[in-house]
Each structure stands twice: as C-alpha cells, then as structure tokens.
Structure 1
Amino acid sequence: MSHALIADLGGTNARFALVPIHQYEPLEVRVLPCKNYNDFFAAAADYIGSCSVDMADIDAVVLAIAGPVNQPVIRFSNNPWHFTREEVQSYFGDNKPVALLNDFDAVGHCLEVLSPKDLVVVGDHSTVDPKGPCWVVGAGTGLGVSCVVPQDHGPNIILPGEGGHVDLSSCSDLEDDILKFLRKRHKRVSAERVLSGMGLENIYEAIALREGVERRLTAPQIGEALALGTDPIAVAALEQFFVFLGRVIGDLVLSVESRGGVYIAGGIVPRYLNEILSSGFRDAMQDKGRMKEFVSPIPTFVVMSEYPGLMGCACYASYLVSKA
C-alpha cells in the first residue's frame, strides 16, 4: 500500500504522520517540539527513522507550514526554522511529488473530508451553502486565516494571505484600553496580538493593569486559573478573547460573503468549547451596525478534530498522487 508522509509544522510543535493514499485519518502521529531541533530536516529525520514505512514506499510528501510559502526562502512566523522548496525536494527525492501548503491552507483542505461529528455549531445558524466560500480561522501560537472556495472537481481553492496580521480595531472602552496598552509596547497592534496564546496573555495583563494589578500569566497558567475558577481576571480575559475573535471574524465575513460558513480551528478555542458557546462571540461577530443582517446568517463552527491540518495534508496528498 502506498503512503504519504504528512506534517503540520507550527510555531511550537511539528506534527508528523503517515497516511495511506486516499485515506485521511493520520497514522503514527508524533508531535515533536520545534525547539528540540535545529531545523526541519533534523525533525524529519527523527520521525522517518522511527516510522514503520520505508521512504521508498512513500509516494508523496505534503507539509503544512506556519508562515507564507510563496517566498524564495520559506520562514516560519513563530519559530526560527527556514528552508527553500528546492532543499525540501532534494531531501525527499527529486522524483517524489512534494507540496508545501500554508498551515491554514491545509485546514481549508480538511473541510473536504471532515465529518459532522468533527464540528460543533456556535450560534443559531448551521445551514451552509456547500458551494459558497468559507473562512478557516484558528488561534494557537499565532493566528491563522484562510479563505476557501469549494470546487466540484479537484481540491478546494485556497486563497493565499496572512489575515492574522491585519490591524485590530476596538469597539468598547475596555478594548480601547487594551489597544492603548499594546500600542505602547508594539506601536502597531495586529489581530494576532490578542488572538493567540501570546494574545491571551496580553489581554490578561492589560485587564489586570486596568484593575490596578501588575501581573502577567502564561497561557497555561491562565488555563489553570480558569479551571480553578478563582481568578476573575482570567475569566474576563477569555471572554474578551472570544469577543475579539467575533469582531475579527465578522470583518472577514464582510470582506467575503462566506455562505459556506466559518470554521474555527487552532489550539485554543476547541479547548474552551463550553466557554465560547456561552460567550459574547456571536454578538461581537454580528455587531456590524447596518450590516448586521448581512453577517448574522453566516454559520460558525468549532473544528473538534484533533489533527485538522494533517487531515488536510492527507486530502491534498491524494490529489497530488492522482495528478502525478
């Protein structure tokens, strides 16, 4: 049986797996901390040395990368790894089809193979237009965004971009204070400054300072405080995180009428599913003045699959082999 080697390479972890061609459930998944390896090739060698399939039996390689891939030198947004397409192709063999995708392009491809059990509806609307464009958004080490255009034949078209780095706006006194706090530190404030693990920490610190407390917790510490239920600042920070997420997604919907829905992935939101369901996320998304009725019908889903990026790589690998 022929296989694909697939990998979802993020800012914190590199997830490697094998998958039989035309199947989409990742096998032999290993999660390797990026900081433990000098470069991608060292991590790849570690994985390949331990997997059960010989590289001679690998028919395709698909890598999802946390950063722009249409560059002469591909650099990661949140870790120091870098390489060229030629170096990757040479490493795996010049006769082997290799594809490099943006990490959220890969999540966009996973929409082709996700089952309903992998999705949780947030809000009152769940009806999608299967031919309508959709957005994939996810907060983790950074903020990933991709616009997906479904196709009747062949893979979804994923429009390239770095939407996580758009300017952040505010719509309340609290948000004004958070942006002022971040502007002093960073001058320009992007959406990723609040919608990421680092962003949750930033929100917490800004709200604490607003309350007269100088304190910054790490994202895991905020998670522990939320579990204990003893820190009202942690509760307020997570709520504001979801409000900012709603505002940014509402702006995306205004930019592209995504009747195919909005799919929220990444490492943070699925972890706090109950909290987003009871949060002001949808109200903030729909808070678009006279355009509220335009945005309100757009359904939003949380992607609960453990490895959506790897599933998207597996899906794309099937197309890659069919085309070869």
Structure 2
Amino acid sequence: MQELGLIADIGGTNARFALAPIHQLVAGQELVINEAELIAATALNGAEYATIGEAIEAYLSGPAKAYARPAHAVMAIACPTDQDQIRMTNHTWAFKVSELKAATGLTSLKFINDYNALANAIPHLNEADLIKVGPGDPVKGKPIAVTGPGTGLGLAALAFSAVGPVTLETEGGHAHYAPTTEAEIEILRFLLKKHPRVSNERLISGMGLENIYTALTHLQGAEKSLSAAQISAAAVAQSDPVCAQALAHFCAIVGSYAGDVALTIGAKGGLYIAGGIIPRFIDYFQQSEFRARFEAKARLSGFVATIPTYVVVAKQPGLLGSAAVLNQRVNFNLWD
C-alpha cells in the first residue's frame, strides 16, 4: 500500500492540508509529482482554531479520517522556521515544533517557509499553471526565484545540484523598500510617519496596496482607506482615478522589486510571482509597467531582460511544494 505523508500550507488566513504519496527514490533520481496525486486536500479557516495542533487534529479526524494516520509531515508556514519556537507573522499561532511533534505522534515533522514550498513546486508545474509576462526563456539548471504579494510578501530561491534541488529560504520580503520615482518617494515619506522602518512588504502585499491608496489620498488632501479588493476592483473597472493610480503604482513597484530579486539571485531559470493577489487582475497586470520596471536596471538591464517572468496560477502550489520536500526528506533522511 502506498505510504502517505501529511502536508500543509499554512497562511495568515487559511490552513490547507492534504495527504501526499511518498515515492521511493534513489540518489540522483528526479522526483515526478503533481497536484492530482494529493489526497483529501482541504482548506481550514485558521481563525476557527485556537492552536495549530487543533487544526491538525481537525483535519486528521475529519477529511483524512479514512486513511492511516501519517508518520511523516512537512508543513509550509508563512513565517521564519529556523527555530524550534515558531511564531506566525500574520497570525496568532505560536508553538514549539518539538512539542507539536510529540502531541501529534508524528515520527518526523519539518516546518518550512511557505515560499520554500512554492519554490519546490515550480519544477512540477505545467504550462496551464503559469502565465508568462514579457519575453525571455528559462535556462535549465540555473536558479529560479519565487516571490509575490499575498497577506505578506515571501521570497525563496531554488538552485540545482547533482543530488537534487537546494532551497534558499529567505525573509527578503522584509528587506528595505527602495523607491524609484518622485511619487514613490512621497509615498515612502507618508509611510515613514507611521512606521520606523518601511519594508518591501509594506507596499507589496494586500496591506501594501491599501497603504499606497491611503498615501495617495493623503497627498491629495483627504486621507481615505479602502480594502485591497475594493481598490483593485475599482481600478480595473476604471471607476475611481485614485484607485487606478494606486494599482498602477503597485504593479510598477512589484516590477522594480522583482527585478532586484532577479539580480540578487541570478535567476536565469526564471522569476515566478505567486500569492493570491495578482491573479485577480492578471489582464491588468500584463498591461502594466511591471515588466518595463523589471528590466529598468540601467547598466544591468541586459542581464534581466533575458529572464522570463511568470505568474503562478496553480490551485495548490504550496501543497505541491510541501509534497516535493516531504519526498526528498523521507527518501534521503533529511530531517535536520
């Protein structure tokens, strides 16, 4: 019988769980896995559970109850994962991995950053899972970078070696924001009055779009607030000029930031934009300044001009990436 492992993709709003098949691999063998192999995929509202342990037990005793209780688990989560103590950046959950492992009875449990999972999903996506924006072709074997706005802003990279993929798990979304135009400098000035430090995430995320809109209304003399969904909807419908300005700035800022990521990582394998925000207005995004700003790197424009950029529209890339990491770790005993 096929052994199944527990996987999860835990964000600021939803905790997605599934069971994934564990394939038998030998050293150097390339893993092949796809979303169709995931079993009992379920999204739980994180706000309905006081702890992550309660959410896990609700899944195992509910949607996954027809299957044998898994021994191994890999869970992607939207926060740093380099310590035993984990505290989510955009959620109330805080816990110790060692205590959670004991409480759930798992033989092995590994938490990875959510963008670690997204990076590991990329090699297993097909053409229908991606929308290309602009020119360029990926160079096989070269690093790829995955970033994108959602509740927050994540960033990871994937390099390739003879023994398999190597993930660079980062918190680059929290690096300092660098404005490019006079208008962006004014937005930064506004945000510096509210925050002692302005990171990329303060502009490139759901709250980031809201921050840009509020800054623009303030600069025009009447500070207002709208949700990210309201701003993007009004911008696409061309029913509100300030919303249109906000979304235009947002897409341009994403482009400048993504180009910086491509330079930093040397992402000749491609720059992939994940997260739940941009797919909502993908047609607008394709016509925006994103790609022009991605390539606008002065003396290094030639370096990034050949790098392809994609928007990830797969249904469960975080779960798929977690399944890929689960297989690597079980097969090669990588439970550090």
TM range (shorter): over 0.9
From 122, 127, 130, give the equivalent of 2:140: 130
Runs of 4+ in 1 over 4 A off after TM superposition: none
The partner residue of 2:281 within 267, 272, 281 is 272
Q: What secondary structure does 1:5 align onto?
A: strand
AA aligned to 1:311 is L
Output the CA distance in 2 between the equivalents of 1:20 and 1:53.
16
How many residues end up aligned between the 2 structures?
A: 321
Q: Does 1:295 align with 2:333?
A: no
Partner SS state of residue 276, structure 1: helix
> Which stretch of the first structure deviates more once superposed, 16-25 or 188-197?
16-25
Alignment of 1:236-275 (within 5 A): 236-275=245-284
CA contact (8 A) 1:24 1:315 kept: no
Contact 2:7–2:75 under 8 Å retained in 1: yes
User: What is the alpha-carbon distance in structure 1 between the residues aligned to residue 41 and residue 217 of structure 2?
Assistant: 39
Once residues 236 and 122 of structure 2 are traced to their aligned partners in structure 1, the CA distance between those partners, rounded to angstroms, is 31
Task: Name the SS of the counterpart of 1:50 in structure 2.
Answer: coil
1:2 touches 1:59 (CA, 8 Å); kept in 2?
A: no
Bigger shift: 194-203 or 248-257? 248-257
Aligned with residue 82 of structure 1, among 88, 94, 118: 94
Residues 9 and 63, structure 1, Cα contact 8 Å, conserved in 2: yes
Counterpart residue number, 2:158? 148
SS of 1:306's partner is: coil
The 8 Å contact of residues 73 and 326 in structure 2, kept in 1 or not, is answered as yes
Rounded to whole Å, the distance in 1 between the matches of 2:301 and 2:152 is 28
Hey, what's the Cα distance between the residues in 1 that align with 2:20 and 2:280? 26
Q: 1:275 to 1:224 in 2, by over 3 A?
A: closer
Contact map agreement 1:64 1:309 (CA 8 A) in 2: yes
CA apart distance, 1:269: 1.3
CA contact (8 A) 2:60 2:69 kept: no
Report the AA paired with residue 101 of structure 2: Q
CA shift, 1:160, in A, is 2.5
| Displacement of 1:55 | 6.5
Quote the residue 2:44 is aligned against.
32
Moved more, 304-313 or 286-295: 286-295
Q: Give TM-score, length-normalised by structure 1.
A: 0.94
Q: 1:109 aligns with which of 90, 113, 120?
A: 120
SS in 2 for 1:185: coil
1:153 shift after superposition: 3.2
Partner of 2:14: 13
What does residue range 59-78 of structure 1 map to in structure 2 within 5 Å? 59-78=71-90
Q: CA separation in 2, counterparts of 1:229 and 1:219?
A: 15
Q: Which residue of 1 aligns with 2:214?
A: 205
Task: Report the residue type matching 1:66 in the other structure.
Answer: A
After superposition, the Cα gap between the structure-2 partners of 1:181 and 1:243, relative to the gap in structure 1 and judged at 3 Å, is: same
Q: Cα deviation per residue 1:163-190 (whole Å; 9 max; x = unaligned)? A: 0001011111110111011011002110
Query: What secondary structure, in the 3-state scheme, does the structure 1 residue paired with 2:216 have?
Result: helix
Q: Deviations over 1:112-152 (max 9, x none)?
A: 21112211111122x11121111100210100001211234
Letter in structure 2 aligned against 1:138: G
Residue 207 of structure 2 aligns to a residue whose secondary structure is helix
Q: For the residues of structure 1 that align with 2:124 and 2:89, how far apart are their CA atoms?
A: 27
Task: For 1:147-186, list aligned pairs within 5 A.
Answer: 147-154=157-164, 156-186=165-195
Deviates more, 1:13-22 or 1:106-115: 13-22
Give 2:97's aligned amino acid. Answer: R
**What's the offset of the Cα at 1:91?**
2.5
Unaligned runs of 5+ in 2: 24-32
Shift of residue 20, structure 1, vs aligned partner: 2.6
Secondary structure at the counterpart of residue 161 of structure 2: coil
Q: Under a length normalisation based on structure 2, what TM-score does the superposition of the two structures give? A: 0.90
Deviating more after overlay: 49-58 vs 233-242 = 49-58
Distance in structure 2 (CA, Å) of the matches to 1:241 and 1:285:
13
